[in-house]
Amino acid sequence: MIIQAGEFWLADIPFTDRTASKIRPVLVLWLDGRDAVVVVVASVGPRTVTDVALADWRSAGLRVSSTVRLSRLDCLEQSMLIHRLGVLSPVDALQIKTIWDLHVKPQF
């Protein structure tokens, strides 16, 4: 299984209290050794300035209109990525990079 930045995957994400996990879509931002740094993809609209509504969610392999939550970063072992869904479109990639540069990078 080859994983690349800019791909959408289904991932088995553990709850923070480690009592269970949930299969949900994620966007791979970058790879670091055996880990993948990902952001959560939600099926609800944007709620904060760090949420990006995807224009091309269908071509990305997502079932419903989706939002990338840039404030919800996770570092997962690549083995936790279960199934590749699709690839981020250039239009959505530009929007995500713009919002990242404006609102996510460290503020110190």
pLDDT band, residue 14 (cuts 50/70/90): confident
Task: Please tell me the pTM assigned to this model.
Answer: 0.93
Q: How far apart are CA 76 and CA 78, in angstroms?
A: 6
Give the model confidence (pLDDT) of 49-83 as tens digits. 999 999 999 999 999 999 999 999 999 999 999 99
Three-class DSSP category at 101: helix
Give the CATH number of domain 7-104; options: 2.30.30.110, 3.20.20.140, 3.40.50.2300, 3.40.50.300: 2.30.30.110
Interacting residues of 30 by C-beta distance below 8 A, sequence separation 6+: 5, 36, 37
Provide the pLDDT confidence category of residue 106 given band limits of 50, 70 and 90: confident
The percent of residues above 90 in pLDDT, for the chain, comes to 86
φ and ψ at residue 102, rounded to 5 degrees: -80, -40
